[in-house]
Each structure stands twice: as structure tokens, then as C-alpha cells.
Structure 1
């Protein structure tokens, strides 16, 4: 198969970029260097594409694709392009939306902030502060952690925010579930990079999320115990296991050792073999004996 020329490669690469998505010339250059094992000068080619109207120049070293409509070219808003440059570099995640603008987006508040807040690895970059507030992230942002950092930033900002949602915790539970956030990972990030106040609020949210009684009308499974038959849904069983896992994680974070008996009782409670009251009574009795 005949190899593409530099110009054809650049044109094809840009064609894969969605309309309105900003891209940096050095990202294209890096892709070419990887493909051709060389660093060709691409500015001339990009200028030609811009002169032909296939791309638009946003700022030095940054272009975007503008979609042609019956009313002319549809250009994205300047603040959206700025936000893209602060959150993505090619296919790499380097930042995320945070603060009050994120709270508005997920439904915690109806107040619309005048500026979008972005936490980014490129926090030193000069941006137009008419539209964007740049934050330094608590840790380097990547594709694997940005949702966790978003979640914890919101929790950290909650005490100072004008939250008017009817059920803020339900919104946070939904965000965690939608993004499949692991409670242990969330706790680890909170313990390492956030304040103790944020950690305490997080624990309160996670405990409620993992112990709230779900409403299920079917799919019951039955656990035979010495006291007869006890019914429990698979979902409730999973939630109890998550609650035990969460409690153990909190104890580990606080440096509190969990006894083997406590682990055994927790496992029995998760399976529905004993009630929460029975587990508590057994632990209290054991404590009095020691």
C-alpha cells in the first residue's frame, strides 16, 4: 500500500477531529513523528488548509474545524475552545470542569456562574479570564482519576456553595454510580489530597449510599439460617457487602485495626444471617469481657 504524503496524512488526521474541537499543532506534529519517524514542519500545510477554509485558526498553534451551514460557518464559542485546550491534549485527559460551573451542570444549583472553572495540568497557561477560572489540581490529572477528582472537588466546595437542589446527596450518589466510582479509590484520594472536613462529608455520603434500603419487588433469594428463612434481594446483599468494605476502608484510613471477630460478624450480617442489632450486641459484649 502506497504511503500517504505529509499533506494527505495531516488532512486525514484533521478529518477525524470533530467539528468545533480545538487541536494543537504540536499534537499533529507528534502523530506525524510517530508515523514517519521524522518531525516535518506542518505549519505550512495547516496554513494552506486554513486558507482553503477547511480549518480555522483560534490562536497561535491552535486550530479547529468550523462546520459550514446555510447561514455560514458555525464557530464554537471562545470559552468552549479554551476549555477544550485545558482539559484535553489530543486524546489525553489533562483537566476537568469543576467548581460552581460543574455544580450547575449536574443539578446541585440553579445559579449559573459567569465563568467556567477548570482544574488542569496546564494551570500555568495564560487564558482569557473573562470566561474561565483555572485551578491547579490536587494531583496530576489523567483519564483514570479525573472523575474521582471532580466528585471530591464538588464535595469540598459544598459548604461554600449555594446549593438549592431538593436532594443533593441523591445527585452525588447518581454521579458516583454513573461514573462507576469505586468507594475505596474515592476514600484513598480524599485521604491523600483533601481536607479532613471533605473526608468526613464523603464518608457520610458513602455510608448513606451503601446502606440505604433499596426498593425491589422481585428477584428475592432465600438464605436458610438456624432461625428459619430470611429473604434478601441480591441488590441488598451487594449493598451490604459494599457497606462492610467501606467500613473497613474507613477504619484502615483512620488506623483502627479490625478484629477477626468483627470481620466474621460483618460477613454474617452481609449474608443476612444476623441482624445489625445482633452484631452490635455481640461486639459490645465482647468489648465488656476484654
Structure 2
């Protein structure tokens, strides 16, 4: 893994964004359908040293998450908080309004990172490309106003990013997509790095599918670590900002204990050979 600055209190490496900010390379993901636990978030912040939380309006947990952050006592300036804009709120005015409403609901003055959640619009009347551009201009405005310290996209492919680059003035700071040993979009990763876009991966355990893989289990046995830790370590050693999700305290603790061992080149090659292009979540391939 490339050399990156380390936050001393956490011993968690950070990755520099093109605007000079540094995002912790490991964070806690949240989601809907049982993917949020108030107690788990407080535990992650107070007992595990987690300082990077990822959420979205779509998940329906903004209010509870905001209260959990407040209860933790962690100063806002010490926390990296990412939120996402749902496609139902795309458009210039709607996007700005939605972001400000999310800030209000969470009782925060700003987001460290604000992402367009999906490349396809849910609104009719114009093309996806036109709506992405209009919405992105709203995020650019929020960025210039300081309400969002960094802005980015989620689930965008090279074609979507190329269009956005042609249509707008600020290149996304981050692109967050599905990333695990079975889903390794290397062409997209290379493009992002060439363009100065930080690559962030969600579902690093492929919703549990990869944990029983013989190769993963073999590497885990070799290092006397759990399969989950092997997958997370593999991801961050590839320089990917990684956001595993769990609502169980023991697993959150386990997922964040990945900085005291290192995979060797043979391990990285073996895990890198597991790609079979499967998605365990949304697939943006057919979004124009």
C-alpha cells in the first residue's frame, strides 16, 4: 500500500483527496433494512476509535445517527461524515434543499463528503446525463458554500464520470462503488486514480459471500486472522477507502483491527484472482 499519513490517535491511515482533505481509509457503513444500530454506532465511536461514518438519506437513519454521534461525545471536527443524495432529490433546487434538510435532521452544520447516490435519475423530463449535470452543479454550489467539504459520486462508471467532466467544473473527489474480491472494477479504479478521484469501496465482504471462499479461508488460516479481516485488509492494502457494515459490536471491533498485520504479495495476487464480476448489490452497467 502506498505511504499515507496516519492519524496518531487512531493509527488509521488516511487517503488524500485532490482538495487537500484526508479521508480515513476505513469507516463504518450504515444502511436500511436493519443495517443501522444506535448502540453499535456509539460503541464504534467510543470503544473502537472509529472516526469515519458513512450513511445516506435513503437509509432512513439520519436522525438516530445524528443523536448517536452526539451521544458519543466525539467532537464534530474529529469525525469524517459522509452522506448521499437520493435520485428522487436530483435537480439543482431539490438537491440543495435535500442536503440542507439532511444537515438539519442530523444536527450538523456540514458534511465532510456528500455523494450523488446513483447515476440514474428518478425524475422525468430530461436525460440522465442532463440531470446528473444539473445535480452536480448543486453539489458544486454546496461545496463552494462550505456545507460540503468534499463532493463525489457513488456507483458511477467511467462513461458517467467522463460526461460529468465535460459538463461541469469540479472533478468528483470520490467515487464510491461496490468492491470486494469477487467485484474488482480495475479499469474504473485506474481511471479514477488517473483523474485524481479517490476510489472508495462498499460491501467489502460481498454481503458475506466471500467469507467461505477457500482461497480467503486459506489466507486467513495462514495469518491466523478471520476471513472478514483478510478481505478488509486486502481492500485497504489496495489503497481503497473501505466501509464495512455491521450492527454487531464484536464484528465492528474485529473489522477495525486490521492495522497490525500485512498480507504479502502472494496473498494479494491470490485474492486478486477471485474476480468473477458478480454484484451483490446494485449494478449500474445499463445506466446510460
TM-score higher than 0.5 here? no
Q: Specify the TM-score bucket, using the shorter chain as the normaliser.
A: under 0.3
TM-score (norm 2): 0.23
TM-score (norm 1): 0.23
Which has the greater radius of gyration?
1
